[in-house]
Every structure is written in C-alpha cells, then in structure tokens.
Amino acid sequence: MLMVALVGASSLFNLGATRTPASSHREAPIISQDPAADNTDTYAFVSPDRPDTVTLIASYYPFQEPAGFPNFYRFGDDVTYDIRVDSNGDAVEDIIYRFQFTTQIQDPTTFLYATGEVESLDDPDLNVRQFYTVTELRGGTATVIAEGLQTPPSNVGPNTTPDYESLAEAAVYEVGDLQVFAGQRDDSFYVDLGGIGDLLTIRQPPGGGDRGINDLMGLNVQTIAVQVPIEQVTTDGSVPTEVDDPAAVIGVWATASRFSTTIIGVDGSRIGDGDLVQVSRLGNPLVNEVIVPLSSKDAFNASIPSNDAQFLPTVLDPQLPDLLADIYGIEVPEGDRDDLVAVFLTGVAGLNQPAGVVPSEQMRLNVAVPPSDDPDRLGVIAGDLAGFPNGRRVGDDVVDIELRVAAGVLVDGFDMEPNNQLGDGVDGNDREYLDEFPYLATPHQGFTHDHHETDRANAEADATAEADATEESDSEDSATEESPAAEADATEESDSEDSATEESDEDS
C-alpha cells in the first residue's frame, strides 16, 4: 500500500552523530575513472510550464571544479550520449535521443580558452567551441533531427563570460516541435556526501532541519536535455489524461557509450574504432550506489534493462535497510521487499506501473499526472504524485525519499518515527532552478564560487551559537540560584559595619 503525508514533527533519538546512504556520481569502479562518460543524474517529468510536453534530462561529468583553467569542461567527442524511452513496459527502448559532439579550436597557437570577452556563441574571442548532432532512433530508423548545434562555453568568469545567462539561452534550440539543449549546468543534485562516505553518518539524526552539508555546492556538470510533445513518447501517439490509461506510463533511462577500441597515435591523439559499447547507465537515482554490490557495479553499467532479472535478489534483499536497522536501532520490514521492487523495477501499481510490465530498472513516469502547483521535495511519499518515484523533477530530494523508502514507509506499519524522518540533512540545492527549459540552475563561474566549506562553516557557526546561547542561559540560571546567598552575605556584612560603628561611638 502506498503511504502519503508523512508526519512532519521531529524527534531526535539518543544516538549521537550516527551513520547514512549521491545520485550516480562515481558509482562504479571503472566509470569513476572516466568522468566524461559518467552519468550523474537522469530526470523525467511533465514540463510545469508546458504540460503538453515531457522533459528528459541527463547529466554527466561529476564534480566539475568551475576554475578548470586552462582546459575547461566539455562533452567527450568519443562518447555517445543517449536518453532512452520505453513506451510499452517491455524493458526495451522504443525511442532513443542521441547526442554526439565535435570540438573545434579556432586558434591552436594560443593556450587560451577564450581570447577576450565572449558576447555570443559565434564571438571570434571564443576559441574552443563544441558542436553536436541530435539523432532520433525509432522503430529501427535513425533520423538526424538537428546538426551543427552549439553548446555554450563553460562559465569562466566575469571577464570572459560576464553575461553567461544570455549565452546559455542562445544555446536552447527549437527543433521542429522539440526543444534541445547541451552544455554546462550547476550540479542540481544535493547531498551530504561527506557524511554518507564516512560510514553512513547523519550529522544530526534523524537528518532534518537542513543541518547537513551539501558537498556538491559550487560544482557543475555537463547536461543534455530534450523537451518532447507527450504524444511522441506514448505507445499509441496519444496524450493520456487518465492515470489508468494503458498508454500513460513511459520508462526512461540514460546511457553513455564508447567505441570498443581506442587507437592512441604517436602524437598523443586518440581515435575510437569498432562497435559502441555501453559504459554508463542510469535510470532511478542511487540504485548502483547503494543497492547494487561492488562485485556487480561495472556489470550493471554495461547491462540493459531486459537483463535486469540478474539484479532482482539485491533489490528484494538489499543491504541498506539492514544497515539502517543496525545503525539506528529502528524496525524495518523483514523478508522480500516487494515495495522496493515496485519503486525500482516495476513501477507502483495504480500510479506508474505499465500493464504487463517486464521488471527492469527504469525511471517510470505517468504522463497523465499533471505538474504540481506546489511541488513537495519528498514527492509521492508526501502526497505529491507528480514527484519521485513517479519520474523525477530537478528539485526532488531523492536521498531523503530513498532513505525513508528503504526504512519501509511504503509498507503498512512502518510509516512511523523515526523511519519517516530519515534524511541527510540537506533539503535543497544551493542555487535556484530555472522555471523554464532546461530547468537546471546556471553553472558556477570559475572566478568566484563557494564550495561546501562555507556551508560547513555556517552549520558549525549555528551549532556553536546554539551551544553558546545554552551556556549563557545556564550561567544566568546559576547566577539566579546564587543570588539569595549573595544577598545574605551582603546583609551580614552590613550588620557587621553597623556593629563596628556602634562600638566606635561607645569608645568615644
């Protein structure tokens, strides 16, 4: 049964600083060495400003330090980036939106990324430029729908890219009835990686109150995005309006592929040859991080949804809930976790489970669910059916959601404290999202930007101020308790002085 509207009141348990589980940043051993192909996040949602369309987004290249001089970030010319759509639930993609890139250097005799202020995409001062082709693969036919499109440059700084927003806007293209974008964006996923990586630590249990540290603050990613009319991704070409319409649910995931052979020339150049081989895959967030064991992580990245039966045991009986039970002393459901199978493999019955679904790891989206007027970061478990795990919007707090789901809040009898309060203590992104395509926030510039140290200092300052206030209050209470004794001492001293005066008068 699907539970909604979690209790909002918090109660800390007596555990001190305890331990918790990014989206897919460096999630597997091999892909962690290949950042240009590393898929960090995938998003799929009905567009809030254009509800007759769906927006599909995939980000790559995690942990981009904005000050990337002299070689600022770009997509891999030898990487093929795909967003895949399963329209009928059979675990096989029916549509692929493919992005392929080519880099051009205008003046190879200079070391500069740009030789002056860049005012437009075709500005002569923009030395390093990247162009791309978008191909739609459907029904065995590949159709080039756009070519020669240009990415915006990296956000270098106020002297090179003083009006970065206008450059990014110029890189949003209308292609027929689609919109497409490729370029640098803020890493809009937010998570306390420092705590998670340190034996699953929640800094202030159970994790609410925004007291964690966003370790992705100030970092960027490379993003591809496409906005598509709904009728182009449904199995029958319709625009469903009823949630139970058999055509309403689509599955989405993103991949990156490289050529099977890399030829390295004597001049250091590299050329890909052979067949394309998938090296990264991402549908639902955090699956490869905290569900798939180390022994299978690289295999998962190379696998296809129709072969996902091999991963079923790790979803039915994952390690994470047991860790939460051991660490927090909480009760979690025992036995096979069919609730997790619904979230990660089949979709939730009555919401985003296709008829006759073949279980596979995809992000399921019911396109008949309209965008929320007041989105809740906790999505479905907070009663907002337009949020994760019904697709994923850019602001959905997937870490808190999945921690609570792992603790059993979708199972009868487990939607209780502290299970329904778990979180990493990071409740939002460090930058505001856009209210229009491509929605992800403007990337951070290299000249000046803040990383999580500022966030950490603020959190520690808050904790210190709170401790100081408590100490000051205790001191005042102590002073109040001591005042009767002080008053008695003062009275006794006054009586002594009076007695001495009387004795002096008698002597006279």
Residue 213, both tokens:
């540290």
Cα 228–chain centre separation: 22
Q: What confidence score (pLDDT) does residue 20 get? A: 36
pLDDT at 200 exceeding the cut of 50: yes
> Average of pLDDT values for 69-95?
97
> Average of pLDDT values for 85-95?
97
Does 467 reside within a domain?
Answer: no
Torsion of CA 473, 475, 477, 478, to 10 degrees: 170
> Average of pLDDT values for 6-16?
31
Q: What confidence score (pLDDT) does residue 232 get? A: 98
Q: What confidence score (pLDDT) does residue 300 get? A: 87
> How many percent of the chain have pLDDT more than 70?
83
Q: What confidence score (pLDDT) does residue 473 get? A: 63
State the Cα–Cα distance between residues 89 and 28, nearest whole angstrom.
27
Does 134 reside within a domain?
Answer: yes
Does 451 reside within a domain?
Answer: no
Please, are residues 59 and 187 in contact by the beta-carbon 8 Å criterion?
yes
Does 20 reside within a domain?
Answer: no
Least confident piece of the model among 100-109, 132-141, 328-337, 469-478: 469-478
Q: What confidence score (pLDDT) does residue 476 get? A: 60
* Residue the block writes with tokens 């976790």: 337
Spatial CA neighbour of 186 closest among 452, 450, 440: 440
Q: What confidence score (pLDDT) does residue 462 get? A: 60
State the Cα–Cα distance between residues 345 and 284, nearest whole angstrom.
9
pLDDT at 407 exceeding the cut of 90: yes
Q: Which residues contact 27 (CB under 8 A, 6 or more apart)?
A: 38, 288, 289, 297, 301
Q: What confidence score (pLDDT) does residue 442 get? A: 97
State the Cα–Cα distance between residues 291 and 285, nearest whole angstrom.
10
Please, are residues 6 and 327 in contact by the beta-carbon 8 Å criterion?
no
Question: In the chain, how many domains are there?
Answer: 1
pLDDT at 24 exceeding the cut of 80: no
Q: What confidence score (pLDDT) does residue 466 get? A: 64
Residue 350, SS3? coil
Does 452 reside within a domain?
Answer: no
Q: What confidence score (pLDDT) does residue 21 get? A: 39
> Rg of the Cα trace of the chain?
28
Q: What confidence score (pLDDT) does residue 376 get? A: 98
Residue 77: other Cβ atoms inside 10 A: 15
User: Per-residue pLDDT tens for 345-391?
Assistant: 999 999 999 999 999 999 999 999 999 999 999 999 999 999 999 99
> Average of pLDDT values for 258-273?
92
pLDDT at 1 exceeding the cut of 80: no
Please, are residues 221 and 42 in contact by the beta-carbon 8 Å criterion?
no
Q: What confidence score (pLDDT) does residue 29 get? A: 74
Q: What confidence score (pLDDT) does residue 368 get? A: 98
Q: What confidence score (pLDDT) does residue 398 get? A: 96
Cα 389–chain centre separation: 13
pLDDT at 497 exceeding the cut of 80: no
Q: What confidence score (pLDDT) does residue 437 get? A: 98
pTM of the predicted protein model: 0.85
Helix 319-328 to helix 398-406 angle (10° resolution) is: 80
Burial 257-296 (b: 16+ CB within 10 A, else e): bbbeeeeeeeeeeeebeeeeebbbbbbbbbbbbbbbeeeb
Least confident piece of the model among 21-25, 141-145, 188-192: 21-25
| Residue 15 banded pLDDT, cuts 50, 70, 90 | very low
User: Per-residue pLDDT tens for 273-332?
Assistant: 999 999 999 999 988 777 888 888 888 889 999 999 888 998 999 988 998 899 888 999
> Average of pLDDT values for 408-434?
94
Higher pLDDT, 502 or 3: 502
Does 446 reside within a domain?
Answer: no
To the nearest whole number, what is the mean pLDDT of the chain?
87
State the Cα–Cα distance between residues 497 and 268, nearest whole angstrom.
97
Q: What confidence score (pLDDT) does residue 2 get? A: 38
pLDDT at 479 exceeding the cut of 70: no
pLDDT at 470 exceeding the cut of 70: no
The conformation of residue 371, written as its DSSP 8-state character, comes to P
Torsion of CA 374, 179, 390, 98, to 10 degrees: -160
Does 183 reside within a domain?
Answer: yes
> How many percent of the chain have pLDDT more than 90?
69
For residue 299, the enclosing domain spans: 31-431
User: Per-residue pLDDT tens for 25-46?
Assistant: 666 678 888 999 999 999 999 9
| Residue 13 banded pLDDT, cuts 50, 70, 90 | very low
Does 444 reside within a domain?
Answer: no
Partner residues linked to 103 by β-bridges = 130
